[in-house]
Amino acid sequence: MSFSEFLGDRMRKMVSQGLALAVSALFLLGTGTQPGVVILLLLAFLLIFALSLAVEYGKKRSRLAELWAVMEGLDEKYLFAECVRPPREIYERQLFDLMRLSASSMVGAVSDAQAAQREYREYIERWVHEIKAPITAAGLICQNAEAGLRRRLQQELARIEAHVERALFYARAESQEKDVLICRTDLEEIVEKAILGHRTLLRQSGIRVETKDLGKTVYTDEKWAVFILGQLLQNAARYRKLPREESQENEGGYRKLPRAESQQEEADSAVICLQAESLEKQVRLTVSDNGIGIAAHELPRVFDRGFTGSNGRSRGGSTGMGLYLCKRLSSSLELGIAIRSKEGEGTEVTLTFPAREGEGGQAASPFRPGRRRGAGGVTLPVKEKPRM
């Protein structure tokens, strides 16, 4: 609080006192008091009034500084009224009593909301645990179905599992500290688990996955990192460029292309590329695809909760929660995440992992440099066989 602000707050009081002083001076002059005496009285009164304002300003400023110091030192700001020194003035005491009543009411409301949120999270976790049993049973049952029907059922079951997993991680996102374990992790293992966890979706979508320079060490929570990477793979599969005649299905649930067309689409097939780059104390993982891309005016909003965009509305089935969870969990894991895209050409998402200096380079990898192509065009790492 500046002195000018203090004077502005006291302006009405100063004006009323000035008017009273002027009336008193006129009265004294009218009753025959010498003008010199009246001037001396006015000067004495002005001096006393100025000193009282200065003392009051000093006390108010000191009190405000004390209150601000208490507020800045509190983690739980709603406990402010309970932690400050009791005021001396009756008016300030009444104000603090009102603040305590308001804070007490707010604490009760917050406690009830936290309890309800905790119960809801526990319910979601139990539900996810229970729903996995019938999903697994359905997967076993569909193994006996006809080949075309089995592929379609497996694809739908994979979508259900992805939604269930997303619901679980969303529920746990409110209390990541209870389930996060940061440790030294091989980036290649994270990528492999994410790919294998979505192999059905990638296979059914005809996507080829290419990896490069993934033999690096990072510091993160493996489970949460696998989930983030899985969401990026799901988005790349969902928003891939569809073949020209994909909507024409035969009775088995899939179409057969002429040989020449099959070769052309093999050259133009959907590709996801995962490539790592070492920085000084970081490792940058780039996930890029050659899909339909994102409109430039929608890019600033892709991490917003519930934002589906024009692609989500045209393809259908989008919840707008995937990238939102990626952004939120990345912040909790202290991962950098950025996205850039060009409509009609593809999208590139960059994840930046912490890594000790010197450990961002090539690490000992349990995989050979060679790769084999899995079914459906998925490129998977081949584990090195032990030497005999």
Domain ranges (residues) in the chain: 3-106, 180-242+259-382
Average pLDDT, integer, range 89-109: 81
316 φ, ψ (degrees, to nearest 5): 80, 160
Residue 383 has pLDDT above 70, yes or no: no
Residue-wise pLDDT for 292-331, tens only, equals: 989 889 899 989 888 888 888 887 767 788 888 889 888 8
Residue-wise pLDDT for 162-171, tens only, equals: 788 777 777 7
pLDDT of residue 1: 66
81, 98 in Cβ contact below 8 A? no
Reduced to 3 states, what is the DSSP secondary structure of residue 303?
A: coil
CA distance 333 to 18: 64
Band the pLDDT of 347: cuts 50, 70, 90.
very high
Q: Classify residue 376 as left (phi > 0), alpha (psi -120 to 50) or beta.
A: left
pLDDT of residue 273: 93
333, 177 in Cβ contact below 8 A? no
Mean pLDDT of the chain: 77
Neighbours of 278 (CB within 10 A): 17
- For tokens 């067309």, what's the residue? 261
Residue 1 Cα to chain centre, angstroms: 37
CA distance 353 to 182: 11
Kindly state the tokens that stand for 41: 């009285």
Band the pLDDT of 175: cuts 50, 70, 90.
low
DSSP track, 122-173: HHHHHHHHHHHHHHHHHHHHGGGS-HHHHHHHHHHHHHHHHHHHHHHHHHHG
Band the pLDDT of 106: cuts 50, 70, 90.
confident
Residue 262 has pLDDT above 70, yes or no: no
Residue 274 has pLDDT above 90, yes or no: yes
DSSP class of 217: E
Band the pLDDT of 286: cuts 50, 70, 90.
very high
Domain 180-242+259-382: assigned CATH number: 3.30.565.10
DSSP class of 336: E
Task: Please list the residues that pair with 276 across neighbouring strands.
Answer: 285
Task: Please list the residues that pair with 340 across neighbouring strands.
Answer: 348
Kindly state the tokens that stand for 169: 């991680």
CA distance 341 to 309: 14
Residue 10 vs residues 16, 61, 65, 297, 360: alpha-carbon distances, Å? 10, 14, 20, 52, 64
pLDDT of residue 385: 35
Average pLDDT, integer, range 64-84: 77
Task: Please list the residues that pair with 219 across neighbouring strands.
Answer: 184
Band the pLDDT of 191: cuts 50, 70, 90.
very high
346, 245 in Cβ contact below 8 A? no
Nearest to 231 by CA among 324, 309, 139, 308: 324
CA distance 29 to 48: 22
Angle CA 244–248–249, to nearest 5 = 135
Residue-wise pLDDT for 351-361, tens only, equals: 999 877 555 44
Which amino acid appears at position 288 of this protein? Answer: S
Share of the chain above pLDDT 70, in %: 82
* H-helix or E-strand spanning residue 349: strand 346-354
pLDDT of residue 365: 37
